[in-house]
Amino acid sequence: MSTGLTAQQIEQFTELGYLMVPDVFTDDEIQPLRDEITDVIDGAARRMLAEGKISQTWEQEPFETRLTRLYNECDEILPPIVGRAGGGHSGPAFFEFISNKSLLAKIGSLVGPEIIGSSVYRIRPKMPGYAKGAVPWHQDSGYFSPHCDKDLIVTCWIPLVDTYPENGCLQVLPKAHREGVSRHFTNGPGGFLVIEEQDLPVPGPEAVTVPVPAGGVLLMTNLTPHCSSQHEKDVVRWAVDVRYQSADVPNNIGEVPADYSEERPTHEIACYPPEADFVLQSPAQPEMVVDSWHAFHEIRQRFENERPPGPRRGWVPAETAQA
Ligand SMILES: O=C(O)CCC(=O)C(=O)O
Dihedral angle of Cα 224, 22, 297, 147, to the nearest 10 degrees: -20
Amino acid 80: pLDDT: 78
Q: Determine whether the shortest distance from the Cβ of 123 to ligand 1 is under 6 A.
A: no
CA of 286 to the centre of ligand 1 (A): 31
Q: Please check whether residue 45 lies inside any domain of the structure.
A: no
Amino acid 257: pLDDT: 95
Q: Please check whether residue 179 lies inside any domain of the structure.
A: yes
Q: By residue range, what is the domain housing residue 109?
A: 7-26+90-313
Q: Please check whether residue 253 lies inside any domain of the structure.
A: yes
Q: Determine whether the shortest distance from the Cβ of 36 to ligand 1 is under 6 A.
A: no
Tally of domains in the chain:
1
Write the DSSP assignment of 129-193 as a string of letters: T-TTTSEEEE-GGGTS-GGGTTS-EEEEEEESS---GGGT-EEE-TTGGGG-PPP-BS--GGG--
CA of 155 to the centre of ligand 1 (A): 9
Amino acid 194: pLDDT: 97
Q: Please check whether residue 53 lies inside any domain of the structure.
A: no
Pairwise CA distance, residues 15 & 131, whole Å: 33
Q: Please check whether residue 64 lies inside any domain of the structure.
A: no
Q: pTM of the predicted model, to two decimals?
A: 0.96
CA of 169 to the centre of ligand 1 (A): 9
Low-confidence residues of the chain: pLDDT under 70: 84-87, 202-205, 322-323
Query: CATH no. for residue 110?
Result: 2.60.120.620
Q: Please check whether residue 72 lies inside any domain of the structure.
A: no
Give whole-number Cα distances, 152 to 15, 56, 118, 247, 317, in Å.
14, 46, 11, 11, 27
Amino acid 202: pLDDT: 67
Cis peptide upstream of residue 203 (ω within 30 degrees of 0): yes
Q: Please check whether residue 69 lies inside any domain of the structure.
A: no
Pairwise CA distance, residues 213 & 22, whole Å: 7
- CA-nearest residue for atom 3, ligand 1, is 228
Q: Determine whether the shortest distance from the Cβ of 140 to ligand 1 is under 6 A.
A: yes
Amino acid 321: pLDDT: 76
Q: Please check whether residue 47 lies inside any domain of the structure.
A: no
CA of 97 to the centre of ligand 1 (A): 17
